[in-house]
Amino acid sequence: MADYYHKFQIPVMGTGHSADTPIRVAHLGITSVISLVDDILLEQIRKYYCAKFSLPYSEITRNEEDGRAKRITAYLDAVNQIVSLKLDALKRAPFSPGNDKCLYFELLPDESPLRADYMKMASMKPGPEREFLEKELTGKMLPGSIDVNIMAKLDNTNYDADGNPLPDEYSDAKAALRGYAKSSLKSAVELSAGMNQRLLNYITEFSDFYRNENGEIKKRIILKVSDFRSSMIQGKFLAKKGLEVYEYRIESGLNCGGHVFPTNGVLLPVILREFRENRERLGREFLPLIEKYYEKTGRKFPASARSFRPFVTVQGGIGTYAETRRLMEDFGMDITGWGTPFLLVPEATCVDRATLELLMRAGEDDLYISDASPIGVQFSNVYGTGAGLWARKRFKEGRAGSPCGKSFLKFNTEFTKKPICLSSRQYEKLKLEQIAGMDINEEERNRLIENVINKECICDQLGNGCRIALGIVNEKDAPQCMCPGPNIAWFSRTYSLKEMVGHIYGRIPSLVPPERPHMFAKEIELYVDYFEKKAADSPLTQNEIGTLREFKENFKRSLQFCAEISKGEAYPGENLRSLADYVEKQGQRFELIYEKFQKKAGSADLKKPQLSTSGQD
């Protein structure tokens, strides 16, 4: 990438697991992403690290005016300061074998000219020539980017002490953006979970998102997307406001951690092919709109910026160096995102010991797509989390639901005028009382009860693993929520940072067994599982039947492309045989499921739907 040297980045993981990742790895040149959902958690982590690094700390209380934005700014400024201190210390250190200064260069990809110069320097005898090269290498040390994530549609209205709604700029997403915009960071904000036009409009109020007189953009925009169409829509919307997308970050719809945003049957390889074939449009078509805005607002658009083309990256389920090569060499991706495997790298992420052990033990059967998230979007999960056990214990004790102390996910108005959260004590009590009064059979009653009590308080409990690991809270008082991707099944112990980076770059023997299915193969299986559940739960309206029939056509087309890939030459260590097997076996399984659905749907006379690749946006 333009401002750092690595070919991978560590994506956002929950509200807490990557919250301090930049403090752990940015001074070593590695880029990562902090979630801005939970400003209360970030304030607690700031207090911890200010004490650790002897920095001044003054609490920003919950009831302080514009407190959410101020807490986010204060945390990001503290992280930036700590990373600068750690990098400065590295630069002052000598090149001593085994120290972090040497590690900085040893972690770089093999093809990096900087790593080559380091290896040359390390083989030289002491003297003026070596000293010159040491000084030159030190001067080129850059930190990894300290990027942030805002879930665009988590944009609740907030209220004052008297219960009156605050102005729109105090909504959760806008306050988070303002907190980032006012920070000292020179980095990027990743916007995910759909398109929020109000939030995109709000970006225009901060000059750091535009090019300065030197042609630089201090605050860059990353869009996390699931397909090319949504990239074009959002990119054009921003371009009309003079805003450039620095990076389009493609994520697998199901083969990922956190919330999942499945497409209607279009698999990742087809999406990547469309980006490869059309990526020039992402820059070329928007440039006239951007220049027009600069001219209209009296800004000068630098000529040097006209040649910039956005980066296109991918994440979700990547597990081997061979798969990285496939993504970069065949599909033209600029970098890859590796999230879930880093949950087992304590040098990089903040996970409590009990959850680490759960992840190390987890096999494929322990991982599932759940309805645990109260925002109505499915959520990657693992059986046996502290949060899941806690929720069921509360139900058995007659106290179902969570206290809802942070209130980030209040969207439901089924029983109240003011939105409440589906995982809250208030909602679950009312819903369970309603179910108790229904005239339904026991099987249906149990199903409805399960839909209520399986919700987890993710806005609080996703941060508990981090708080436990840092000693901020005791484990008994903080049930842990975890959202790993299916990939975790193939990583079975903790790893050093050097091991994991060596695995990513193919420098060491693979950390996963050769029988691990190809990332594209695993995605096929996940989509068949997803369709099976969708078909079983379908209300069989004309719309739903049409959507599922469209899914079949998209999925069939995707399988054909996967079959083509499987017949090609494999990169060394790439399990293409598994892709061929999954195309055949999961394809047959899908046909049986679809045949059963067709019988269930009857002979509805529907207009043939148009094919689509629409996903989360």
Q: Are 391 and 454 in contact (CB under 8 A)?
A: yes
Report the pLDDT averaged over residues 59-77. 95
The rounded percent of the chain whose pLDDT value lies above 70 is 97
Residue 182, CB-side half-sphere exposure with 13 Å CA sphere:
15
Q: Is the pLDDT of residue 1 over 70?
A: no
Longest dimension (CA), the chain: 88
Specify if 395 maps to a domain.
yes
Cα distances (angstroms) measured from residue 153 to each of 159, 257, 420: 18, 18, 16
User: What pLDDT score was predicted for residue 614?
Assistant: 40
Q: Are 272 and 331 in contact (CB under 8 A)?
A: yes
Specify if 421 maps to a domain.
yes
Q: Tokens for 404? A: 């809802």
User: What pLDDT score was predicted for residue 2?
Assistant: 54
Say yes or no: 558 and 453 in one domain: no
Residue-wise DSSP of 364-427: GGGEEEES--TTSS-EEEETT-HHHHHHHHHHHTT--SB--SS-S---B-SS-SS-B-TTBHHH
Please tell me the distance from the alpha carbon of residue 613 to that of residue 551, in angstroms, as a whole number. 10
Number of domains into which the chain is organized? 2
Say yes or no: 369 and 467 in one domain: yes
Say yes or no: 376 and 475 in one domain: yes
Q: Is the pLDDT of residue 616 over 80?
A: no
Report the pLDDT averaged over residues 523-549. 93
Neighbours of 610 (CB within 10 A): 7
| CA-based nearest residue to 471, from 329, 343, 333, 352 | 352
Specify if 82 maps to a domain.
no
Specify if 460 maps to a domain.
yes
**Token pair 């809802």: residue:** 404
The rounded percent of the chain whose pLDDT value lies above 90 is 74
Report the pLDDT averaged over residues 517-538. 95
User: What pLDDT score was predicted for residue 283?
Assistant: 87
Neighbours of 399 (CB within 10 A): 13
Q: How big is the chain, counted in residues? A: 617
Say yes or no: 470 and 549 in one domain: no
**C-alpha 458: how far from its chain's center?**
15
Q: Are 259 and 149 in contact (CB under 8 A)?
A: no
User: What pLDDT score was predicted for residue 603?
Assistant: 55
| CA-based nearest residue to 529, from 457, 596, 590, 482 | 590
Q: Tokens for 509? A: 């023997």
Phi, psi of 573 (to 5 degrees): 85, 0
Pairing of strands 336-337, 8-9: parallel
Query: Residue 404's domain spans which residues?
Result: 359-481
Q: For residue 557, what is the enclosing H or E element? A: helix 542-566
Q: Is the pLDDT of residue 448 over 60?
A: yes
CA angle at 565 for the pair 561 and 566, rounded to the nearest 5°: 115
Query: What mean pLDDT is reported for the chain?
Result: 92
Say yes or no: 471 and 541 in one domain: no
Q: Is the CA virtual torsion 56, 60, 61, 65 positive or negative?
A: positive
Please tell me the distance from the alpha carbon of residue 443 to that of residue 435, in angstroms, as a whole number. 12
Say yes or no: 522 and 475 in one domain: no
Please tell me the distance from the alpha carbon of residue 155 to that of residue 176, in angstroms, as a whole number. 9
pLDDT digits (tens, 9 = 90+) for 144-202: 999 999 998 877 777 777 778 878 888 889 999 999 999 999 999 999 988 899 999 99
Please tell me the distance from the alpha carbon of residue 605 to that of residue 602, in angstroms, as a whole number. 9
**Token pair 């719309």: residue:** 543
- Roughly how many angstroms between the first and final C-alpha of the chain, as a whole number? 26
Report the pLDDT averaged over residues 64-76. 96
Specify if 570 maps to a domain.
yes
Domain end residue (candidates: 422, 453, 481) = 481
| CA-based nearest residue to 74, from 149, 204, 183, 230 | 183
Secondary structure of residue 487 in the 3-state scheme = helix
Say yes or no: 384 and 472 in one domain: yes
Please tell me the distance from the alpha carbon of residue 593 to that of residue 552, in angstroms, as a whole number. 11
Please tell me the distance from the alpha carbon of residue 237 to that of residue 554, in angstroms, as a whole number. 27
Pairing of strands 245-251, 311-315: parallel
Say yes or no: 521 and 454 in one domain: no
Say yes or no: 462 and 522 in one domain: no
Q: For residue 336, what is the enclosing H or E element? A: strand 336-337
Domain end residue (candidates: 481, 507, 525) = 481
pLDDT digits (tens, 9 = 90+) for 191-243: 998 889 999 999 999 999 999 988 999 999 999 998 999 999 999 999 999 99
CA angle at 536 for the pair 530 and 537, rounded to the nearest 5°: 90
Sheet holding 32-35, edge to edge: 8-9, 336-337, 311-315, 245-251, 219-225, 187-192, 146-151, 32-35
Specify if 398 maps to a domain.
yes
Overall pTM > 0.75: yes
Residues near 32 by beta carbon (within 8 Å), at least 6 away in sequence:
9, 10, 11, 18, 21, 22, 25, 26, 144, 146, 147, 348
pLDDT digits (tens, 9 = 90+) for 284-293: 999 999 999 9
pLDDT digits (tens, 9 = 90+) for 7-26: 999 999 989 999 999 999 99
Say yes or no: 369 and 475 in one domain: yes
Please tell me the distance from the alpha carbon of residue 319 to that of residue 329, in angstroms, as a whole number. 16
Please tell me the distance from the alpha carbon of residue 458 to that of residue 501, in angstroms, as a whole number. 30
In DSSP terms, 35 is beta-bridged to 149
Q: Tokens for 168? A: 């729109």
Q: Which residue has the higher pLDDT, 420 or 333?
A: 333
Say yes or no: 550 and 472 in one domain: no
Q: Which residue has the higher pLDDT, 608 or 358?
A: 358
Specify if 12 maps to a domain.
no
Say yes or no: 474 and 545 in one domain: no
**C-alpha 541: how far from its chain's center?**
33
User: What pLDDT score was predicted for residue 194?
Assistant: 84
Specify if 538 maps to a domain.
yes
Among 400-404, 483-487, 591-595, name the one with the lowest average pLDDT.
400-404
User: What pLDDT score was predicted for residue 408?
Assistant: 72
Q: Are 486 and 527 in contact (CB under 8 A)?
A: no
